[in-house]
């Protein structure tokens, strides 16, 4: 059952997996939210854990940075480990002035500057979208927790340091709320394999105000997003 990237055995991974980019954020969730925790992966230090949250079995595993990385891990989880639902929990840079630091963004759809979908040989542009039922569960969880949240389109970018620093304004003009680097590939994998996926983000920095959170804050302080995701466990 093990792959080149995941040493888990059959049955060690739950049907729902939360995927932060940072494996240390996966460890933080396992240490602070889950009971009866067992670590199922240490390959490449991409930590994975399975435990229970309020009696429901759930796994959490890092995805790494960028679409190639989450593309590998999410595909294997869906295709080889029988996972039904992956919820990405990550950080994002705000493109919209309405999105403040620590606000939650629920990605209804993901635009991209990547050529990820070229593998499908489509005669057009593929729109990568979330699974609506999971999105609805996340919105309901935000409402119950009185969390500030926004639902809409985001940009999944292949580029972090862009040679054209103001290019973000064009995406913002078309309504993209924020930018991150993984969701488009996750949504494509889920659609291709007939699985469920959602991306829940916390605003870590702003292109509008130039505010930036610290690495420690991104690792340990995005708890509202974590709790919203944990409310969407599919058993």
Catalytically annotated residues: 205
Provide the token pair at 20. 């932060």
DSSP assignment letter at 104: E
Provide the token pair at 200. 């829940």
Provide the token pair at 69. 């990385």
Output the DSSP codes for 35-89: EEEEEEE-GGG--EEEEEETTEEEEEE---SSHHHHHHHHHHHHHHS---EEEEE
DSSP assignment letter at 172: H
Q: Residues 52, 36: contact at Cβ < 8 Å?
A: yes
Q: Which of 117, 125, 90 is nearest to 105 (CA)?
A: 90
CA angle 213, 204, 144 (to 5 degrees): 120
Kindly provide the residue ranges of all beta strands, DSSP E only, lying in the chain, ordered along the sequence: 16-19, 35-41, 48-53, 56-61, 85-94, 104-112, 128-129, 149-156, 178-180, 196-206
């Amino acid at each position: 059952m093990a792959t080149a990237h995941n040493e888990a055995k059959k049955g060690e991974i739950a049907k729902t997996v939360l995927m932060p980019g940072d494996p240390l954020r996966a460890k933080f969730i396992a240490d602070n939210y889950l009971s009866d925790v067992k670590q199922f992966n240490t390959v490449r230090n991409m930590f994975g854990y399975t435990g229970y949250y309020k009696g429901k079995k759930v796994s959490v595993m890092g995805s790494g940075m960028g679409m190639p990385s989450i593309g590998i891990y999410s595909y294997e989880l869906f295709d080889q480990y029988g996972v039904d639902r992956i919820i990405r929990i990550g950080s994002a840079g705000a493109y919209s002035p309405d999105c403040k630091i620590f606000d939650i963004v629920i990605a209804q759809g993901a635009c991209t500057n990547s050529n990820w979908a070229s593998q499908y040989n489509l005669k057009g542009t593929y729109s990568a979208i979330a699974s609506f039922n999971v999105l609805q569960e996340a919105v309901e969880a935000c409402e119950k927790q009185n969390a500030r949240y926004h639902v809409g389109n985001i940009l999944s970018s292949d580029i972090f340091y862009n040679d054209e620093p103001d290019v973000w304004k064009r995406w913002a003009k078309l309504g993209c709320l924020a930018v991150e680097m993984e969701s488009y590939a996750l949504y494509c994998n889920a659609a291709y394999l007939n699985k469920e996926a959602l991306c829940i983000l916390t605003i870590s920095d702003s292109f509008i105000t130039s505010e930036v959170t610290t690495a420690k804050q991104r690792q340990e302080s995005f708890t509202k997003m974590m709790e919203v995701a944990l409310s969407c466990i599919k058993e």
